[in-house]
Amino acid sequence: MSDRTFHILTFGCQMNVNDSEWLARALVARGFTQAPLGKARVNIVNTCSVRDKPEQKVYSVLGRIRQATRKLPDAFAVVGGCVAQQIGAGFFTRFPQVRLVFGGDGSAMAPQAIERLCAEPGLRVSLLDFSEEYPERDAQLQSGPVPPSAFVNIMQGCDNFCAYCIVPYTRGRQKSRAADAVVRECAELVEHGAREITLLGQNVNSYGQDAEAARHATTADGGKAVTFAELLHRVAALPGLARLRFVTPHPKDIAPEVIDAFGTLDNLCPRLHLPMQSGSDRILKAMGRKYDMARYMDIVQRLKAARPDIQLSTDIIVGFPGETEQDFEDTLVAMRAVGFAASFSFCYSDRPGTRAAMLPGKLEAAEKAARLARLQEWQNDYTEQCLRNMVGTDTEVLLDGMSKKPDMAPGGGHDDGAGIPGGESWQGRDPYGQPVNVVLPARPERGPAGGPEGWLGRIVPVTIVEAKKHSLRGVLRA
Ligand code: 5AD
Ligand code: SF4
């Protein structure tokens, strides 16, 4: 039998991570096994093109793969995701080892294609067509345990065409997945041990507002497409689901019912990622974001009223074309006013074909980098302060694995004050999504996720005793 080993490298957003995990399960179900880079026959790179840097990384990774596999005559590479959609068959000429390119809608067909490529050495395949319908994928739950925190796609693509963003071109038009299929997948994940589910989409608030959603509407829904708020309620009602999250909402169309859900659904976690992008109305307008800061701050106030302990995080682009020092300062003022627990900030990067790429007033790289550094310095201090504020509080931690840090390794003798000789160090997340490390007594029996580790997937009561730069340390409460 020919070698059926694979390795996947993933760049970019959680959607890509989710696609890669599905692809890995689908390949394992077809008899493939995972192998390290340089040893695997099928080398898959799942790519992101949202900024220029991640795109450049793909090219260097393909060079690395070529080097690492030069002694494996059958080895080949597969490029999936947004850069694959953008460059397409151009990969075949630039990198002869690439034999399959697939985009977001083509991923459902990738496992079959990889199987064919293993059997037919001369073949090359491209799966780049956008489909009209949401490309439903086979459930692959049977192969391997389900992680305690699982991700479920609810839509593909985006229709917003923000001026800087390549996503509408690489992921195509918005297509909502059928609500019944979403709820069914969530229910299966919970049955197999998932305690937390994160619903994924480029713009979850407009779930249900597209032609594909209208096609899914059933008489049980009164013939109308299911809204995002209704979907949240349906998933939240699944017995056994301890935590529900979603990402990413667009501020322009967050419905009052979604804000209310933070006050009414017990298992909807008190943490929301709400991309602001800029704190300047002038720049928001140029970005085509369709909200101003008055609207953004109103949403923040209403979220805090619905759920007073809610923590927010955001995305910021620094140095959008035409951004003045005053515009940038407006962003800093807005960030201080909201008090984001975390932010992901990026220098503006020209993406081919987008409106912003054609705008005048581009900033020098050094100016963008200097502004970014100022913003990140403030955020880092504030994030540390948020973590320090948690010290002394009681929380609940969903355990998702054993600690990887050497000083937190099992039996590593880490003195955490918990007084548990020979205890096991575990990591997990609190309801806000903050990483927490905790030492627990050894627990040999199987956990609820069916895995070999007894604590995996359990939610334990913890008191936070220390704040580190990016994480917390807690002790088990009796
Ligand atoms: N340049 C810089 N950052 C970008 N993002 C999207 N497009 C660009 C771009 N051209 C950022 C936005 C988005 C996040 C995923 O990436 O902040 O929310
Ligand atoms: Fe890009 Fe805007 Fe769509 Fe987000 S909402 S994916 S930033 S176009």
More confident residue, 417 or 233: 233
Mean pLDDT, all residues of the chain: 91
Q: What is the mean pLDDT of residues 298-318?
A: 98
More confident residue, 424 or 189: 189
Query: How is the chain split into domains, by residue range?
Result: 5-127, 145-269, 273-389, 394-476
> Residue 54: what pLDDT?
77
User: Angle at which helices 256-264 and 228-236 pack, to 10 degrees?
Assistant: 20
Give residue 453's pLDDT band: very low, low, confident or very high (50, 70, 90). low
Ligand closest in space to the Cα of 168: 2
Pocket lining: 226 vs ligand 1, CB cutoff 6 Å: no
Ligand closest in space to the Cα of 278: 1
pLDDT digits (tens, 9 = 90+) for 66-96: 998 888 989 999 999 999 999 999 999 999 9
Task: Tell me the one-letter amino acid at 308.
Answer: P
Query: Ligand 1 pocket test: which of 14, 86, 165 has the largest number of ligand atoms within 8 Å of its C-beta?
Result: 165
Task: Tell me the one-letter amino acid at 363.
Answer: L
Q: What is the mean pLDDT of residues 407-422?
A: 47
Task: Tell me the one-letter amino acid at 255.
Answer: A
Pocket lining: 349 vs ligand 1, CB cutoff 6 Å: yes
Residue 227 pLDDT > 60: yes
Give residue 422's pLDDT band: very low, low, confident or very high (50, 70, 90). low
| Cα–Cα distance list, 429 to 112, 196, 404, 436, 472 (Å) | 36, 11, 15, 5, 9
Query: Ligand 2 pocket test: which of 164, 202, 274, 351 has the largest number of ligand atoms within 8 Å of its C-beta?
Result: 202
Atom of ligand 1 nearest to the CA of 275: 18
Tell me the CATH number for domain 145-269.
3.30.750.210
pLDDT digits (tens, 9 = 90+) for 123-176: 999 999 988 888 888 776 555 678 899 999 999 999 999 999 999 999 999 999
**Residue 201 main-chain phi, psi, to 5 deg:** -170, 160
Q: What is the mean pLDDT of residues 29-38?
A: 92
Residue 409 pLDDT > 50: no
Q: What is the mean pLDDT of residues 21-35?
A: 93
Q: What angle is formed at CA 67 by the lines to CA 43 and CA 76, rounded to 5 degrees?
A: 30
> Ligand 1 mean position to 164 CA, how many Å?
7
> How many angstroms separate the CA atoms of 78 and 65, rounded?
11
Q: Which of 311, 247, 240 is nearest to 17 (CA)?
A: 247
More confident residue, 54 or 182: 182
| Intrachain domains 145-269 and 273-389 with the same fold | yes
CB of 202 closer than 8 Å to CB of 158: yes
Q: List helix spans (H) across 269-364.
A: 281-287, 293-306, 325-338
Q: Whose CA is nearest to atom 16 of ligand 1?
A: 50
pLDDT digits (tens, 9 = 90+) for 310-364: 999 999 999 999 999 999 999 999 999 999 999 999 999 999 999 999 999 999 9
Q: Global pTM?
A: 0.92
Residue the block writes with tokens 């955490």: 416
The strand pairing partners of 475, in sequence order, are 439, 463
> Residue 411: what pLDDT?
39
- 65-69, 227-231, 442-446: range with lowest mean pLDDT: 442-446
> How many angstroms separate the CA atoms of 296 and 293, rounded?
5
Residue 108 pLDDT > 70: yes
Does 5-127 carry CATH code 3.30.43.10? no
Residue 44 pLDDT > 90: yes
Pocket lining: 346 vs ligand 1, CB cutoff 6 Å: yes
Torsion of the alpha carbons at 230, 236, 239 and 241, rounded to the nearest 10: 150
Residue 410 pLDDT > 70: no
pLDDT digits (tens, 9 = 90+) for 365-383: 999 999 999 999 999 999 9
Give residue 451's pLDDT band: very low, low, confident or very high (50, 70, 90). very low
Q: Which of 101, 122, 115, 93 is nearest to 44 (CA)?
A: 101
> Residue 221: what pLDDT?
77
CATH class of the domain whose range is 273-389: alpha beta
Pocket of ligand 2 (CB under 6 A): 158, 160-162, 165, 167-168, 202-203, 250
> Ligand 1 mean position to 327 CA, how many Å?
17
